[in-house]
Chains A and B, each alone.
Chain A
Amino acid sequence: MTNSTFSRRRLLQSASALGMAGLATGLWPGRPAHAKDLVIGFVYVGPRDDFGYNQAHAEGAAAVKKMAGVKVLEEENVPETVAVEKTMESMINLDGAALLFPTSFGYYNPHMVKEAAKYKDIRFEHCGGLWSDKDPKNAGSYFGYIDECQHLSGIVAGHTSKSGKLGFVAAKPIPQVLRNINAFTLGAKMANPNVTTQVIFTGDWSLPVKEAEATNSLINQGVDVITCHVDSPKVVVETAEKRGAMTCGYHANQSKLAPKGYLTGAEWNWEALYPKMVKMVMANETIPNLVRGGLKEEIVKTSPYGALVGEAARKQADDVKAKLMTGSYVIFKGPLKDNKGNAVIASGADHIQTDIWLEKMDWLMEGVLGSTT
């Protein structure tokens, strides 16, 4: 008897839910966008709440949503295949998008380039800094020198670590990732010349199980501060917190996941960049095809310091940050050796952030335990 009452109640609930939904549609005033609104599409390769790469972009999209005269479309989990081409076309053809942000690195070639050539009146902005002269003029690519923030994280980590052993969970040994590892280690060595950074490459951008294993294995080896470069640092940060280790975040702010051990983090500042770009498009200005910058240009930012970060660490990191903000600081300067003993930067040589040489990085510096092959 109880059973049938229950199911009857459930039935009534569902029926009223359906009824309410029907009512709501009746009141729905068609498509809300005004004819004049600038329609902007954001495409993410993973879930937009991943505490990482995609969330950073979604936070940028959220900042754009607050602007007047825009309508923001978002689509998540779009693979780097013909699917992203069709998503962009669908946003243009069915929703009238005039500005698109396909945010994943692998969307650029051939997918976005193909679409930009096909839809010349639409503006395409890609994250990755890949635009070259051969590519369509209505396409653009932007990127940030996030190694500046990793450098600051390194300073904090070097000061805070008790064992002098730092850990880095990395996806692939590609230049961007190696640059982060080296910048982090350079920072840490400023705080404590004897620190080492143990690197584990997982092999891909999103392998939660391997990331957890790598984190555990680093902690088992005596590492007490861990940072990472994977699409979603969630697993690394949570695992470290559970084990009582400290972390420096990446991509977005993960302090919620590790209220105790989160020290600081290297974050993208798309909330600052995207509204600027949207304003330029609304004012009919042309966005440069290549946009790059670091802390100074507000393209990257750092997470607020956690409770465990001491005075000395804060002071040194803030000093370096202030110099980076004025553009008078060089992270990669000689003499510097790689971890095989070869000199990679000669004494007195400076490689400033815009130096293309840094984008071909294929070495790990002295003090990094790990190999690129």
Chain B
Amino acid sequence: MTDVPLASAAGPKRLASEVIWRLRRSAEAAAVPVLALFVSLVLFGVFVAFNGVNPLDVYELMYRGAFGSWFSWQNTLTRAAPLLLTALCTALPAQLGLMVIGGEGALVIGGLAAAAAALPVQGAAPIVVQLTMIASGIVGGGAWIMLAGGLRHYRGVNETISSLLLVYIAIAILNHMVEGPLRDPTMLNTPSSPSIGDANTIGTMPGTDVHWGFAFGIAACVAAYVLVYHTVFGFAARTVGGNPRAALMVGLPVGRLILITCFIAGGAAGLAGAVEIAAVQEHANANLAVGYGYAGILVAFLARQNPLAAIPVSILVGGIAASGGLLQRRLGLPDATVQVLQALIFITLLASETLTGRLRWPFQTGVSRG
């Protein structure tokens, strides 16, 4: 019996310390960001105090605006919806060691594809139109990021730069299409594509005011988590991320892994764009590019590229955005205030990474995992 698991072979004492070690590791993974969040809130308090506003008022209003009532929760969740999906556009390629920051471009192309695809099937049943839009959005966005992945794998082009530059190309294509071939002649003063039709919009989830994009986002994050941590594909992807040369040596299809992962990542952002058209805007126009893709990068980093952690982080960032209006209206703070908070959170979180593995715990068991 040589293949008995190590832990049980070593007896219950070893098992207990193994469990404690695992618990401690996840506690640490949660404690460090929470600590960083706390520190950034304190720093933010000092910042607003210098602006002549009581920090306690600010915290109270932020809580009220983001999570203080059912209305605020719905506001927060609506704003979190696109971030869940755009976060995946950065978090998934990160498993392969790729730093993709072009989610905005995939979102724009996804939205444009969805709006364009809705036109030829206008007469069909709403469900057909909706599915067509969603499928086109995913394919459009997926192809867009796959382009960055392909450039990386076949031509050695840095994917960070290429995905960012592709954002500008995507926005230019959007503007060209809605001001030219796809322009709705009845919308004279806002160049837009023709409406998808009121009947074809994706409404809100039953009993709420939050559109279906939120449910899609949660489902996508959970699915991405399972894909990354509980499938062979995910294991292979993480192996590539750990050491691409080693992955090649053991015969992993690195190119295919890159292309597929980039497609899924872009598809998530493209889905966000499709939802933006189907649930919010009804037309494709310049309002597709309002920064959801860039906010997704922030979310992915705060979640440390973990798709499951992207859920609470998106809700947090959505909540900060939701409370921003209240800070402006009640306290006369400028709009940039919430951006300062976001930046503080981002910086303290990145800085807090150095704490990982260095936290002192109340009791030591003597087990060291080097």
Contacts and interface: CB of A to CB of B under 8 A. Distances in A.
A251 B276 CA distance: 31
Contacts of A360: 188
B356 interface: no
Given A14-B46, A90-B65, A95 B188 contact: no
Interface string A19-55: 0011011001001000000000100000100000000
Interface in B148-192: 175, 179, 188-191
Interface string B51-78: 0111111000000110000011001001
A174 B189 contact: yes
B71 A22 contact: no
Contacts of B75: 86, 89-90
Contacts of A14: 46, 49-50
Contact of B55 (A21, A93, A204): A21
Contact of A90 (B56, B276, B286, B325): B325
B335 A24 contact: no
Nearest to B322: A86
Interface residues of A, number: 42
Interface string A135-175: 00000000000000000000000000000000000001011
A94 B326 CA distance: 9
B188 A91 contact: no
A87 B53 contact: no
Contacts of A74: 328-329
B272 to A, nearest CB: 12
A192 interface: no
Contacts of B290: 79-81, 83
A371 B330 CA distance: 47
A203 B189 contact: no
Interface of B is mostly: helix
B189 A175 contact: yes
Contacts of A339: none
A76 B339 CA distance: 13
A95 B321 CA distance: 17
A106 interface: yes
A24 B287 contact: no
Contact of B54 (A25, A31, A82, A105): A25
A17 to B, nearest CB: 5
B79 A82 contact: yes
Contact of B78 (A82, A106, A175, A176): A82
A297 interface: no
B276 A81 contact: yes
A76 B328 contact: yes
A18 B287 contact: no
B50 A17 contact: yes
Contacts of A318: none
Contacts of A334: none
B104 interface: no
B56 A22 contact: yes
Interface in A68-106: 73-83, 86-87, 89-91, 93-95, 105-106
B280 interface: yes
Given A21-B55, A81-B280, A86-B322, A75 B328 contact: yes
A44 to B, nearest CB: 9
Interface in A183-215: 203-204
Interface in B241-292: 276, 280-282, 285-287, 290-291
A197 B280 CA distance: 40
A49 B198 CA distance: 37
Contacts of A203: 175
A162 B52 CA distance: 51
A95 B69 CA distance: 13
Nearest to B339: A77
B335 A77 contact: yes
Interface in A349-365: 359-360
Contacts of A222: none
Contact of B188 (A25, A89, A175): A175
A91 B71 CA distance: 11
A75 B333 CA distance: 10
- Enumerate the 4 nearest inter-chain pairs by beta-carbon distance, A residue then B residue, closest first: A77-B335, A21-B54, A25-B54, A73-B329
Interface of A: 14, 17-18, 21-22, 24-25, 28, 31, 41, 47, 73-83, 86-87, 89-91, 93-95, 105-106, 110, 128, 172, 174-176, 203-204, 359-360
Given A74-B329, A86-B79, A90-B326, 4 more contacts: A75-B329, A78-B325, A81-B276, A106-B287
5 contacts: A21-B53, A22-B56, A86-B79, A95-B329, A110-B281
